[in-house]
Chains A and B, each alone.
Chain A
C-alpha cells in the first residue's frame, strides 16, 4: 500500500436504482497526496459514488480499486487505511465523544484505541470528549467525525460534504484541517456542491453531473477551460458596445459597472487587438484586465451545457 500513486481508481463504475443511473460509467483517477474535490450539484450522484467506493452499496457494474487494492476482493485490507464520513456524521447520542470513538476503535486494529486521545486533540474536542454527543453542535459532530476517521491513521480520507452546516469559522477550521492532512502525505477525497470551497481547498477536482464525471484534473487547469474574458474600463460604454458589436470574435458583452464591460473572447482574439479597435474608433481605454475564469464559471458552463443537451 505504501508508495501507491493512485488511491482511488474506477473503471466504468455504474450504480443503478431501477432504470435510473445514479453513477453512470464513471472512470475516476485520484492521485495520492492531494485534496481531491468531487464537485457536483445536489442529486448529481456524489454520495452514491462514495457509498459505492466504500462498499456500502454494491455497484451494478464496473471496477473499483482503493489504495491500489481491488474491491471488494481486498476490502478489509484497503478500508483498514481509509477513514470516511458518509453523508452527515452520525453517532450514538447517549454516548460521549470518547465512547463513540471507542466503539469504532474496537472494530479497527488494536492501535486504533491508542489514537483516540490524539485524534480528539487534533480536532480540538479534547475538552468536550467526555460530554454526551447529543449535546454537540453540528460543527463539533463534523470534527468528531474527522477524529473517527483518524483512528485508522488513514492514507485516504473520504469526506462527504464536510463543510455542510458549518459557520464561516468552522469552514475555515475544516479547510485548514484538510490541508494539514494533505501536508502529512494523506489524500483527502471530498465531495461538495460548494464551488468556492473546492477551489480554495482542493488541488484537483472532478466535476460530476447526472452520474457522469464530466471533467477531471487540476483545479487551475479546469478553471482555465472556460472561455477567456476581459474587463475593460472605457469613457463611453455605449460607443464601445457599438464598436465591439462589429467584431464577431467578441462572443459576449455585459456590464460590470458604470464604465466597465466584461467581454468574452473567442477564436484567439487577444486583449491588444481589442485595445487597438477601441482606440481607433475614438473610445478611450483606461483599463484592460484579462479575467481568470473561476471554477464556478467553468462548472456552471459545463453543467448548463449538459442541461441543454438533454
Chain B
C-alpha cells in the first residue's frame, strides 16, 4: 500500500497532467451540460431538455471517449516516470523486486484516474435525471451498463499504457494508443470480412457492455463472458509483458 501511495503522490503532483485529466473527464461533461441547458433555455422549441436517456448516451460517449485519453495519459506517465527521471535504479537498490515496482503502477494510476471518471460520470448521470423534463429517463440497468463500459475501457487502457510504457517513451505510448482507439480499432471493427476475429479487439469487447441502442449499433455480437475474457486477455498480455521486460532490463 505504501508503494501505491508513492505512485499516487508522483502522479497527483504533476499539475499539467492533473489539469488535463480533469478537463477531459469532468470539464467536458460540465461543458456539454452547460451547452445543453443554455440551448434549451434560449430556444426550448428547437432544443429539448438537457437531460434524459438520449442526452446521457451522448454525454457518456463524450466523457468516456475523452476520459479514455486521460486514462492513457495517466497510464503512460505512471509507466515511464521512474525510468524517465532516472529514479528507477534508486528504487531497485532498495532491494525491492523490479516486478513489484512495476506492478504498483497500475493500481496507482487507477487510484488517480477512477475518482475523476466517477466524478464525470456521476455528473452526467445526475444531470440526465435533473434536467430530463418530460423526456424518458435512463433505467437503472442502463446506467449500470454505461458505468461498466466506461470503467472497462479506461481500466484496460490504463493497464495497456502502463505495460507498453515499459518498452517505449510516454509520447510513443500516448500516440499509439490514441491512434489505436480512435482510428485503427474502429476501422478494424468495420471490416466485416474479419468476421469473428473482431471479437478480440478490446474496443469491440468493451462496447459489449453498452446498452443496446435502437438500431443495435455496429457492435460485434459476443457473450459477456467472451467480452470479459477478451478485456482480461489484453490487460494480462500487456501487464505481464511490461513486468517481464522491467525485470529483465538493466536498471
Query: Known contacts being A56-B251, A95-B13, A106-B2, is A79 close to B94, with CB within 8 Å?
Result: yes
Interface positions of A from 111 to 131, Cβ below 8 Å from B: 113
Report whether B87 and A91 are in contact in the complex, using a CB–CB cutoff of 8 Å: yes
A107 CB contact (under 8 Å) in B14, B86, B94: B94
Report whether B85 and A99 are in contact in the complex, using a CB–CB cutoff of 8 Å: no
Instruction: List chain B residues, Cβ under 8 A from A78.
Output: 95
CA distance A75 to B95 in the complex (A): 6
Report whether B95 and A148 are in contact in the complex, using a CB–CB cutoff of 8 Å: no
Instruction: List chain B residues, Cβ under 8 A from A301.
Output: none
CA distance A58 to B249 in the complex (A): 9
CA distance A103 to B90 in the complex (A): 10
Report whether A76 and B9 are in contact in the complex, using a CB–CB cutoff of 8 Å: no
Query: Known contacts being A86-B89, A91-B87, A92-B87, is A103 close to B94, with CB within 8 Å?
Result: no
Instruction: List chain A residues, Cβ under 8 A from B87.
Output: 90-92, 100, 103
Report whether A95 and B10 are in contact in the complex, using a CB–CB cutoff of 8 Å: yes
Residue ID in chain A nearest B96 by CB atoms: A107
Interface positions of B from 97 to 119, Cβ below 8 Å from A: 97, 101
Chain A positions 79 through 98: 1 when the CB is less than 8 Å from some CB of chain B, otherwise 0 = 11010101001111111000
Q: Is B35 an interface residue (CB 8 A)?
A: no
Report whether B94 and A152 are in contact in the complex, using a CB–CB cutoff of 8 Å: yes
Number of interface residues of B (CB under 8 A): 25
Q: Is B250 an interface residue (CB 8 A)?
A: yes
Q: Is B5 an interface residue (CB 8 A)?
A: yes
Q: Is B212 an interface residue (CB 8 A)?
A: no
Determine how close the nearest CB of chain A comes to the CB of B86; give it in whole angstroms. 3
Interface bin, chain A: 20 to 34
Report whether B89 and A102 are in contact in the complex, using a CB–CB cutoff of 8 Å: no
Residue ID in chain B nearest A80 by CB atoms: B95
B6 CB contact (under 8 Å) in A79, A106, A110: A106
Residue ID in chain B nearest A84 by CB atoms: B93
Instruction: List chain A residues, Cβ under 8 A from B86.
Output: 90
Q: Is A259 an interface residue (CB 8 A)?
A: no
Instruction: List chain B residues, Cβ under 8 A from A103.
Output: 6, 9-10, 87, 91
Q: Is A57 an interface residue (CB 8 A)?
A: yes
CA distance A108 to B95 in the complex (A): 8
Q: Which of B9, B93, B96 has most A Cβ within 10 Å?
A: B93
Chain A positions 236 through 263: 1 when the CB is less than 8 Å from some CB of chain B, otherwise 0 = 0000000000000000000000000000
Q: Is B92 an interface residue (CB 8 A)?
A: yes
Report whether B85 and A106 are in contact in the complex, using a CB–CB cutoff of 8 Å: no
Q: Which of A86, A107, A113 has most B Cβ within 10 Å?
A: A107
Residue ID in chain B nearest A58 by CB atoms: B250
Determine how close the nearest CB of chain B comes to the CB of A83; give it in whole angstroms. 8
CA distance A106 to B6 in the complex (A): 7
CA distance A14 to B94 in the complex (A): 23
Q: Which of B15, B95, B97, B250 has most A Cβ within 10 Å?
A: B95
Q: Is A54 an interface residue (CB 8 A)?
A: yes
Report whether B250 and A92 are in contact in the complex, using a CB–CB cutoff of 8 Å: no
Determine how close the nearest CB of chain B comes to the CB of A20; give it in whole angstroms. 16
Query: Known contacts being A91-B85, A91-B87, A92-B85, is A104 close to B14, with CB within 8 Å?
Result: no
Q: Is B3 an interface residue (CB 8 A)?
A: yes
Report whether A107 and B3 are in contact in the complex, using a CB–CB cutoff of 8 Å: yes
Residue ID in chain A nearest B248 by CB atoms: A58
Q: Which of B81, B94, B101, B251 has most A Cβ within 10 Å?
A: B94
Determine how close the nearest CB of chain B comes to the CB of A279; give it in whole angstroms. 62
Determine how close the nearest CB of chain A comes to the CB of B83; give it in whole angstroms. 10
CA distance A133 to B91 in the complex (A): 17
Going nearest first, the 7 A-B pairs with the smallest beta carbon separation are A90-B86, A79-B95, A106-B6, A76-B95, A106-B2, A107-B94, A56-B251
Q: List 20 A-B contacts (CB under 8 A).
A: A54-B93, A55-B92, A55-B93, A57-B251, A76-B96, A77-B95, A80-B94, A82-B93, A84-B90, A86-B90, A90-B85, A90-B86, A92-B10, A92-B81, A94-B14, A95-B9, A95-B13, A102-B9, A103-B6, A103-B87
User: Using a CB–CB distance below 8 Å, which chain B residues touch chain A?
Assistant: 2-3, 5-6, 9-10, 13-15, 81, 85-87, 89-97, 101, 250-251
User: 9 more A-B contacts (CB under 8 A) besides A76-B96, A86-B93, A90-B85?
Assistant: A80-B95, A82-B93, A86-B89, A89-B90, A90-B86, A99-B13, A100-B87, A107-B6, A110-B2
